[in-house]
Amino acid sequence: MSDELDEIQGIFFEECTEGLAVAEAGLSAMAAGDVSAETIAGVFRAVHSIKGGSGAFGHAALLAFSHRFENVLDEVRAGRIVASPEVTQTMLGAFDILSDHVAAAQGGTEPPADAAMLEQLDSILESKGAVAAAPQVETAPEPAAQLDDFGFTPLAATIDDFDPFGFEPVAVVLDDLTSPEPAEPAGWTIRFGPSRGALGNGGEPMLVIRELEEMGASVTDVDLETLPGLRDLDPEDSYFVWTLRVPGTVAEQDIRDCFDFVDPASLVDIARQETVVAIVEEPAADEFDGFGLFEPLPIVSEAPSDAVLTLVPVAAEAAQVPAAAATPASAAPVLAAVPTPAPKAETRQGSVEVAQSIRVDLSKLDQLLNLVGELVIRGSILSDRLSPADQERVELPELSRLTRQIQDNVMSLRAQPIKQAFSRVPRMLRDLSAETGKKVVLETIGEMTEVDKGVIEKIGDPLTHMIRNAVDHGIESAEERLAAGKPEEGTIHLSAEQKGARIIVRVRDDGRGINRERVRAKAIERGIISADAALSDEEIDGLICAPGFSTAETISNISGRGVGMDVVRSNVEALGGRLEINSVPGEGTTFTMALPLTLAILDGMIVRLGDQRFVLPLANVVETVQPEPGQVQATSPSSEVIELRGQYLPVRRVGEMFGMRSERAPEDSLVIIVESETAGNVGLMVDTIDNRREVVIKSLEDNLHPIRGLGGATILGDGSIALILDIDALVATGGSSKYALKGMAA
Amino acid sequence: MSTEDTELDERKIVTFTLGSRLFGIDMRSLIEIREWEEPTPLPSVPPYVKGVTNLRGSVVPVVGLSERLGWAPSELHARSCILVVTINGRHAGFLVDEVQDIVVIQGSEIQPAPDVEINEQGAIAGLVKIERRTHDAANAEAMCLLLDLDALSLTRQIPDFVA
């Protein structure tokens, strides 16, 4: 059980992380002026979920704080407190503390000091004259909004209730039942049977029960007598009568308050009990699930351990049943919808939809991806060995098409919005602002850009460092900024976009730019360059990524821990990406990470140089030219240009870049015009082109280490290895002896 | 080869030659022995990294072990082969002259390598005397150098590709 509980708890923390992301996004939107009911409700739900789970897992400090936070949010949601900028700022602060609480609960460390924040929250509550006690019964005045928030079928409501935590229903109930309140005064017994029409009117019984549970109540019985068979079940009707036990210490009035908004036609019976009701110690899912809701739904209740996977889509489907549906939705379609995965586009609408997912161990996906990769290679081998006629005969094209589809699908499974990596930036900026006293505004563009999960996981650290660097070194103090005629607040633009097979992530600040004089002086001082080195501006900028370079005059704890931009660069390069720095003195600095879209498969052109084959990423290829005599001309002993429609483009001999001597005349070679991020269009001279093919990228660092200029290697149909060229790195560094490839080892 | 290993009584080692010298590696590190096949050369790597080869779908570096240990490069011949080993979960192929035998040795027979290392980086974990499978009765025993594969890990040798 404890393993299971740990696992469930793990899920809870995952959900917390997601909840925090949702809350932060919502609060940020509120700070930016979006105070729509939907946004506020989203934040409320997220915090509410965290609160609920923290109670279930006994994280008292987290529970206490999230409860107070939720109280404020509840008032804001109800419109009793205006979401003024000040209130929003306080809530952002509260959010940060909440994140710390979650981290503390997760790491088992001391909870953060939250007294000051609690005071602030309380003062918000008081200043609006709102009741600072337990939250109001969450029965919103407008039924429609209520329905949207919580769903309205019994099925949906119950599942929705659990879904934010992602753990099994059983677990919650167990917790409630196995830790009963000590019953010194005789406890209360409450029988609660919502009127038949309660659900239709937005009277959500779950909210009442939850409210009671917050006072220590536990459900001891559910009367299912009036529950009709599945065929006759109207999901908009309420059929249950709950029996709850509330500790005797709770005042009767508090209990009655919970029923304030309940339809008067409902059954509400509150009585002191004389003897303590026997507690069911270990209810099993099939004996007693606490709510009795799963009884009539064998599909669900037979597989309690799969509850997370199975129930979630139902909740989502049910929540999507239009609120105004006049005809009662029959239960059957809802159930039928269980295996239907939710459309991807909807997953970002709100927390209900966010939960439309299946948790799959990433390693399983990787395994699948590897297998698909092998399949692709086998497909290539087949097509190499069969004549075109034979290929048709065995329907190889069809097989290839299917393989391709499987591949695309598997790839898309791993694709996630880059938002996941961006989401931690706002918090970081707030902390940085607090530490440095610099005011910084964040602008984010393209956070829905989808990137391979592996890439997302690995850009977190580089991103953190770039942002820290921007605030620490880039953005000036408010006085300096004003003196320079800039707005007092610095701006950091964080953007992501897809360009061909690459994801471009930029961090741009509007700060002072790189002080090249100082960088140069420092680099000489540290022995990174010699005193007489002639470096271009770009090369000087690049020095900040050199190992052992740090220009911070005081080691702040922001850029601290001795980890510098060199680590950022090697991290990015280890991903097969590149880091570029562009700086304009006085105007700011832009860090650009160009990352591969996927770490797995590449559309490539196979070229030949001598007896070796290389793969050029097709995304970089613009066109191929068979040079006429005289079309390629030398401009120096080591450089050549090609004339193309009146334009001269630099030409590089790939063989020479790899230290392979070749006396081949340009006329006998092919020039492939490639597009590079840094150097624009450049011609690469190769011997011949073999073919075009999708290749599976095998990383070199799995068994070796990344090599500059190479994006990895691949295994061709005949089992031999071809190296994948990283055009941008090759072209960017080809001319500079500093980065010149040392030549082939053999 | 950690000290724990040396405390174990019986261990299996694979022996092979580089020139006239006899070496041994722990049998548990060995994945397979394959015939020499010209690997795909790589740029920007130390000369002892001969290139990469395809080991059942993964790209594995091939290292000239003799050069790696500081001796002259092995000359290729018909019996040249590649020992594919695993070092901390990473795979590497070592070019060796000839694979000899699988020998059981006692942990207590291993003598520590002398302080004055005969090669860089302490790649020799210890010395052990073993019986050779040979008809030359006068030369039946030989010193075998046990390699410390961890010290040979390629990822420790990340070349400085920045400056």
Query: What is the secondary structure of B26-53 as a DSSP string?
Result: EGGGEEEEEE--PPBP-SSS-TTEEEEE
| Residue of A545, A719, A745 with shortest CB distance to B51 | A745
Q: What does the mean pLDDT of chain A come to?
A: 73
Cβ proximity of B82 and B30 under 8 Å? no
pLDDT at residue B96 above 90?
yes
Q: What is the predicted pLDDT for the residue at A590?
A: 92
Query: Is A569's pLDDT higher than 70?
Result: yes
pLDDT tens readout for residues A304-316 = 443 333 333 333 3
Tokens read off for A155: 């099925």
Please tell me the total count of domains within chain B.
1
Report how far apart, in Å, the C-alpha atoms of A424 and of each of A22, A107, A442 are: 11, 18, 12
* A378 and chain B in contact, CB less than 8 A: no
Query: Which chain B residue has its CA at the smallest distance from A659's CA?
Result: B43
B42/A708 touch (CB, cutoff 8 Å), yes or no: no
CATH number for the domain that contains residue B55: 2.40.50.180
Residue A77 near residue A41 (C-beta atoms within 8 A): yes
CB A90 within 8 A of CB A31: no
Q: For residue A49, name the pLDDT band (cuts at 50, 70, 90).
A: confident
B162 with A612: Cβ contact below 8 A = no
In this structure, of A154-168, A522-536, B128-142, the range with the lowest mean pLDDT score is: A154-168
Closest residue by Cα to residue A727 from A667, A657, A661:
A657
Please, which residues bridge with residue B58 across strands? B55
Q: Which residue has the higher pLDDT, A688 or B121?
A: A688
Considering only alpha carbons, which residue of chain B is nearest residue A718? B54
Distance of CA A471 to the CA centre of its chain: 23
- A405-454 confidence digits (pLDDT tens): 887 788 778 788 888 888 888 888 888 888 888 888 899 999 888 888 77
Higher pLDDT, A217 or A178: A217
Closest CA to A46 of A68, A66, A75, A72: A66
Provide the CATH number for the domain formed by A601-739 in this structure. Answer: 2.40.50.180
* One CATH from 3.40.50.10900, 3.40.605.10, 3.40.50.1370, 3.30.565.10 for A418-596: 3.30.565.10
Whether B24 is in a domain gets the answer yes
Nearest neighbour of A721 by CB, restricted to B40, B92, B159: B40
Q: Is the per-residue pLDDT at B128 higher than 90?
A: no
Helices and strands, number each (H, E), in chain A: 26, 22
| Whether B162 and A566 lie within 8 Å, measured CB to CB | yes
pLDDT band of residue B137 (cuts 50, 70, 90) is low
Listed residue (B10, B40, B30, B19) closest to B107, CA to CA = B10
Chain A residues close to B154, C-beta within 8 Å: 703-705
Does residue B129 sit at the A interface (CB-CB below 8 Å)?
no
Quick one: average pLDDT of A88-96?
A: 85
What's the confidence (pLDDT) of residue A181? 44
Residue B58: its chain A contacts at CB < 8 A?
Answer: 698, 702-703
A478 falls in which pLDDT band (50, 70, 90)?
Answer: confident
Q: Residue A158 has what pLDDT?
A: 40
> Measured between beta carbons, which residues in chain A are less than 8 angstroms from residue B88?
none
Average pLDDT estimate for A559-571: 64
Q: Which of A350, A355, A313 is nearest to A334 (CA)?
A: A313
Phi, psi dihedrals of residue B155, rounded to the nearest 5°: -70, -15
User: CB B54 to CB A741 under 8 A?
Assistant: no
pLDDT of residue B84: 93
Instruction: Tell if the CB–CB gap between A713 and B58 is shorter than 8 Å.
Output: no
Q: Which of helix, strand or coil describes residue A691?
A: strand
C-alpha pair distances (Å), A425 with each of A321, A433, A441, A443: 36, 12, 11, 11
- Contacts of the segment A339-347: beta carbons below 8 A, 24+ positions apart: A339/A313, A340/A313, A341/A313, A342/A313, A342/A316
The identity of residue A430, as a single letter, is R
Res A589 pLDDT > 80 = yes
Neighbours of A248 (CB within 10 A): 17
Q: What is the pLDDT of residues A137-171, one digit of tens each?
A: 444 444 443 444 444 444 434 444 444 444 444 43
Q: For chain B, what's the residue count?
A: 163
Shortest Cα–Cα distance, A655 to chain B (Å): 11
CB contacts, 8 Å: A720 with chain B: 40, 54
- Check whether A691 has a pLDDT greater than 70: yes
pLDDT at A244 over 70: yes
CA closest to B48 among chain A residues? A745
Torsional sign, CA A387, A392, A396, A401: positive
3-state secondary structure A548-591: CCCCCCCCCCCCCCCCCHHHHHHHHHHCCCEEEEEEECCCEEEE
A710/B43 CB distance under 8 A = yes
How many Cβ contacts (< 8 angstroms) between chains A and B?
A: 105
- Tell me whether residues B43 and A709 touch, CB distance under 8 A: yes
Q: Residue A723 is nearest to which of B40, B49, B50, comparing CB atoms?
A: B40
Question: Higher confidence at residue B133 or residue A484?
Answer: A484
B161 domain residue, yes or no: no
Which amino acid makes up residue B113? A
Only one residue has tokens 């908009």, namely A236
Once rounded to an integer, what is the mean pLDDT over residues A700-704?
79
Range in A11-15, A44-48, A167-171, A235-239 with the lowest mean pLDDT: A167-171
Span B134-150, average pLDDT: 76
Whole-number CA gyration radius for chain A: 31
Confidence tier at A67 by pLDDT (50, 70, 90): confident
Q: How confident is the model at residue A706 (pLDDT cuts 50, 70, 90)?
A: confident
Residue B135 has pLDDT above 70, yes or no: no
pLDDT (mean) for A669-692? 84
Neighboring chain B residues of A702 at a CB cutoff of 8 Å: 58-59, 90
Sort out which chain B residues have CB atoms less than 8 A from A722's CB and list them: 40
Tell me the C-alpha distance between B85 and B155, whole Å.
Answer: 14
Name every chain B residue with its beta carbon within 8 A of the beta carbon of A709: 43-44
Checking if the pLDDT of B93 tops 90, the result is yes
Sheet holding A601-609, edge to edge: A688-696, A601-609, A612-617, A721-725, A710-715
B93–chain A nearest CA distance, Å: 10
Looking only at the bridges linking them, the beta strands covering A680-686 and A647-653 are parallel
pLDDT at A124: 82
Each domain of chain A, given as residue ranges in start order, spans 362-416, 418-596, 601-739
Maximal C-alpha separation, chain B: 55
Give the C-alpha separation, A265 to A262, whole Å.
8
C-alpha to C-alpha distance for A151 and A149, rounded to whole angstroms: 6
SS3 A236: coil
pLDDT of residue A151: 41
pLDDT at B95 over 90: yes
Nearest to A721 among B53, B92, B160 (CB): B53
pLDDT at residue B139, rounded to an integer: 67
Kindly state the tokens that stand for A416.
Answer: 């996630």
pLDDT at A310: 35
Is B96 strand, coil or helix? strand
- CA distance linking residue A190 with residue A220, whole number of Å: 10
- In B, which residues are within 8 Å of A371 by CB distance? none
Tokens of A440: 């910084």
Report d(CA A407, CA A578) in Å as an integer: 26
Domain region containing B152: 3-156
pLDDT one-digit tens code per residue, A607-622: 988 888 999 988 788 8
Mean pLDDT value across residues A206-227: 79
pLDDT at residue A86, as a whole number: 82
Q: Please determine, for residue A484, whether its predicted confidence score (pLDDT) is greater than 90.
A: no
Tens of pLDDT, residues B4-16: 544 557 888 999 9
Q: Is B82 on the interface with A (CB under 8 A)?
A: no
DSSP characters over A65-115:
HHHHHHHHHHHHHTTSS---HHHHHHHHHHHHHHHHHHHHHHHT-PPPP-H
For residue B159, which amino acid is it? Answer: P
Other C-beta atoms lying within 10 Å of the C-beta of residue A626: 11
Among A73, A17, A7, A103, residue whose Cα is nearest residue A354: A17
Angstrom distance (rounded) from CA B137 to CA A569: 60
Contacts of B52 in chain A (CB under 8 A): 700, 704, 713, 721
Is residue A30 scored above 90 in pLDDT?
A: no
- CA A666 to chain centroid: 49
Question: How far away is chain A from the Cα of B27, in angstroms, using its nearest Cα?
Answer: 20
Q: Measured between alpha carbons, how far is A159 from A337 in angstroms, rounded to an integer?
A: 15
For residues B47 and B49, give the distance between their C-alpha atoms in angstroms, rounded to a whole number.
Answer: 5
